Amino acid sequence: MSRIRILDESVSNIIAAGEVVENPASMIKELIENSLDAGAGSIRVEVKNNGRDVRLVDTGMGMGKEDLFLCVERHATSKIKDKGDIFNLTSYGFRGEALASIGSISKMIISSKTNDSKTGHKINLNAGKVTKYEEISRAVGTEIVIKDLFFNTPARLKFLRKKSTEYARIREIVLKEALYNTEVSFSLLLDGREVVKTSGRGIENTILELFGRNTLKNSTKFSLGYWGNMNLLKSNKDSIYTYVNGRYVKSKTIEKAVLDAYYTKLTRGRYPFAIIFFDISPDLVDINVHPSKKIIKFVDEDGVYREILDCLTDAIYRDDRKNSISLKI
């Protein structure tokens, strides 16, 4: 008798869920990115019970009956077919793990309808097992309801932070998705209170809707995004938003380039508002450093540093000159 055995799917899904679903915010990120991959023009997220109960409604392409049953299987994805696709990604998702993982540690209901089908379909799952299926009538798109997240993983449940912390994380995740996907309208409700609302009418409207009129007024467009002037200084670095190839990331290199560009203008402990959309050939980026934490490494860190520093310094300096000229006149 061997001692080693291949784990049952329901066990391996729970283990995978440990990585995919660190907290309610990371689960919501996965769901939003699925909606974006499905081409949704609008995404609404309702959160209750510390983030353990979530309802997401999108206007994406939806799923047919067969896909609805498949989408909760492990390693089931419509986004890649072979090895080559992994290095040429055009979607957020590709692992085919999120829904299987989320389903395994919650009670989940998915309803969906595609454009070319008369009826919609709905499945209920309990800890990853389908318990019910029915045909329904609904609009094109998908609705996912998650209840009692972590109900069968008590250790995870213990790591859930207090409501204000979990809700702040969720708000931040939705805001970051909305700030990049500015042609999509987002709505986030926390215990019935709408805390994020964008209309999907371009970047400047989105900045206005997410951060308010003062931020928009004091921000200037430049080649890599937007930079905020000295009226927008903050006491932490959280207002430096960086996206590489469309994904929100953390990069010490980018952060340093931004801070160094502002250098002479910053006093100790003050940080600028900036949005950086940096695009680079995928083979010059190592995205696997920390997939969930979104820490990124570049093959040529110095080159990236210099490019961002130059562009931003140039923009800030140009603005300085403009102001001093207008003052003289």
177 binds, among Mg ion, ligand ADP, none (CB under 5 to 8 A by kind): none
CB 97 → ligand ADP: shortest distance, Å?
A: 6
- The site that binds Mg ion (CB under 5 A) totals a number of residues, namely 3
97 binds, among Mg ion, ligand ADP, none (CB under 5 to 8 A by kind): ligand ADP
Q: Does 38 bind ligand ADP (CB under 6 A)?
A: yes
Q: Does 54 bind ligand ADP (CB under 6 A)?
A: no
CA dist 152 and 158 (Å) reads: 12
- Asked if residues 39 and 114 have their Cβ atoms less than 8 Å apart, the reply is no
Of 30-38, 184-192, 228-236, 281-289, the window that binds ligand ADP (rule: CB under 6 A) is: 30-38
- Asked if residues 79 and 95 have their Cβ atoms less than 8 Å apart, the reply is no
Q: Does 103 bind Mg ion (CB under 5 A)?
A: no
Shortest CA distance to 259 belongs to which of 287, 236, 290, 225?
236
Shortest CA distance to 252 belongs to which of 219, 289, 210?
289
Shortest CA distance to 273 belongs to which of 213, 218, 316?
218
- Asked if residues 199 and 57 have their Cβ atoms less than 8 Å apart, the reply is no
Of 94-102, 144-152, 230-238, 288-296, the window that binds Mg ion (rule: CB under 5 A) is: 94-102
Q: Which of 14, 27, 98, 249 touches Mg ion (CB under 5 A)? A: 98
Q: In terms of CB distance, is 63 or 196 closer to ligand ADP? A: 63
Of 96-104, 132-140, 187-195, 196-204, the window that binds ligand ADP (rule: CB under 6 A) is: 96-104
Q: In terms of CB distance, is 99 or 275 closer to ligand ADP? A: 99
Tokens at residue 6, please? 């291949």
Q: Does 71 bind ligand ADP (CB under 6 A)?
A: yes
Of 82-90, 93-101, 171-179, 259-267, the window that binds ligand ADP (rule: CB under 6 A) is: 93-101
- Asked if residues 43 and 54 have their Cβ atoms less than 8 Å apart, the reply is no
CA dist 123 and 127 (Å) reads: 13
CA dist 226 and 183 (Å) reads: 17
CB 13 → Mg ion: shortest distance, Å?
A: 15
3-state secondary structure of 95: coil
79 binds, among ligand ADP, Mg ion, none (CB under 5 to 8 A by kind): ligand ADP
Q: In terms of CB distance, is 114 or 251 closer to ligand ADP? A: 114
Q: Which of 64, 96, 200, 246 touches ligand ADP (CB under 6 A)? A: 96
Q: Does 152 bind ligand ADP (CB under 6 A)?
A: no
- Asked if residues 148 and 52 have their Cβ atoms less than 8 Å apart, the reply is yes
CA dist 17 and 277 (Å) reads: 30
209 binds, among ligand ADP, Mg ion, none (CB under 5 to 8 A by kind): none
Q: Does 95 bind ligand ADP (CB under 6 A)?
A: yes
Q: Which of 93, 128, 228, 272 touches ligand ADP (CB under 6 A)? A: 93
Q: Does 165 bind ligand ADP (CB under 6 A)?
A: no
Residue 250 is given by DSSP the state B
Q: Does 107 bind ligand ADP (CB under 6 A)?
A: no
Angle at 169 between CA 164 and CA 171, to 5 degrees: 90
What are the DSSP E strand ranges found in 36-128? 42-48, 53-58, 107-113, 120-126
Helix/strand/coil percent split, the chain, to 5? 40, 25, 35
Q: Does 34 bind Mg ion (CB under 5 A)?
A: yes
3-state secondary structure of 43: strand
Residue 294 neighbours by CB under 8 Å, 6+ apart: 247, 248, 249, 250
The contact set with Mg ion (CB under 5 A) reads 34, 93, 98
Residues lying near ligand ADP in the complex (CB under 6 A): 30, 34-35, 38, 58, 60-63, 71, 76-79, 93-100, 142
